[in-house]
Amino acid sequence: MNIAVFVSGRGSNLQAILDAEYLKGIINVTAIFSDKKECRAFNIAEKHRIPAFTIGKGASEIDYEEAARLLEEQKVELIVLAGYLKLLPVFFVEKFIGKIINIHPALLPKFGGKGMYGMNVHKAVFNSHSEVSGPTVHFVDTSYDTGRIIAQKEIDITSASSPEEVAEIVLKEEHKLLPFVIWKFALGEIKINDNQIIIEK
Ligand code: GRF
């Protein structure tokens, strides 16, 4: 299954996808997209000889229409947002509805929505004195973090003494959950019915 990954920064989730042994031969990352001209995730893409594109208005950049055409040409079946901070345009979400997933570093629907990204999320979780946190993988719709939840992993964070420690605990779990959901998607084992999403064993 061909997948594309949208990134905005470090690319550790992209690295986790590329490192997942059980995904080798199952998926093929055919393109990386970012709103940034430069980011560490692009260095990862270069090392793996994966074409990388910046979405923007600059000379060497492409717009969402061109990105959509490329994704269709590459027969991409799953678009993974891994730290992508921009809201996708409505036409794009509708064109690929049911094929775009996002990983959020908290247990949605709590601690999500506009402005809730990166350390903002972990600060809010830490300051709320929650005893648990963890990653959520969800389908993407036309607003921040509101798409249907596919999978979550709840982790005890009572040992964390700062938002940074919460971030570290959650990120480790993100690197397991996201490849797992991609794997299940590739196997066709994510079933969507009216009131729930089931991941078949
Ligand atoms: C992750 O924490 C993810 O949950 C959030 O953005 C971060 C991306 O980190 N959406 P990385 O670029 O994958 O390291």
Residue nearest (by alpha carbon) to ligand 1 atom 1 = 83
Average pLDDT of the segment spanning 173-192: 96
Res 145 pLDDT > 90: no
- Residue 119's nearest CA partner among 186, 88, 164 is 164
Average pLDDT of the segment spanning 57-68: 93
Average pLDDT of the segment spanning 184-198: 88
Task: Write down how long the chain is.
Answer: 201
Residue 26 — pLDDT band, cuts 50, 70, 90? very high
- Amino acid letter for position 23: L
Res 195 pLDDT > 80: no
Residues with CB under 6 A from ligand 1: 7, 9-13, 41, 82-83, 103-105, 171, 174
Residue nearest (by alpha carbon) to ligand 1 atom 8 = 83
Closest atom of ligand 1 to 85 CA is 10
Task: Spot the catalytic one: 104, 122, 138, 175.
Answer: 104
Closest atom of ligand 1 to 81 CA is 10
Query: Is the entire prediction scored with pTM above 0.75?
Result: yes
Average pLDDT of the segment spanning 178-191: 95
For residue 8, the model assigns a pLDDT of 85
Average pLDDT of the segment spanning 95-108: 96
**Tens digit of each residue's pLDDT (9 = 90 or more) over 107-128:** 999 999 889 999 999 999 999 9
**CA 178 to chain CA centroid, nearest Å:** 7
Contact indicator for 157, 131 with CB cutoff of 8 Å: yes
Residue nearest (by alpha carbon) to ligand 1 atom 9 = 83
- Residue 174's nearest CA partner among 145, 132, 135, 117 is 135
Q: Is 104 annotated in the active site?
A: yes
Closest atom of ligand 1 to 10 CA is 12
Res 200 pLDDT > 90: no
- State the Cα–Cα distance between residues 157 and 166, nearest whole angstrom: 6
In testing the pocket of ligand 1, which one of 19, 87, 103, 114 has its CB within 8 Å of the most ligand atoms? 103
Task: Enter the tokens of residue 79.
Answer: 């678009």
Torsion 78-38-53-62 (CA) sign? positive
- State the Cα–Cα distance between residues 161 and 126, nearest whole angstrom: 8
Question: Which residues, other chains included, contact 8 with Cβ-Cβ below 8 Å and sequence gap of 6+?
Answer: 34, 35, 36, 39, 41, 83, 84, 85, 86
Residue 99 — pLDDT band, cuts 50, 70, 90? very high
For residue 59, the model assigns a pLDDT of 84
Torsion 59-61-66-69 (CA) sign? positive
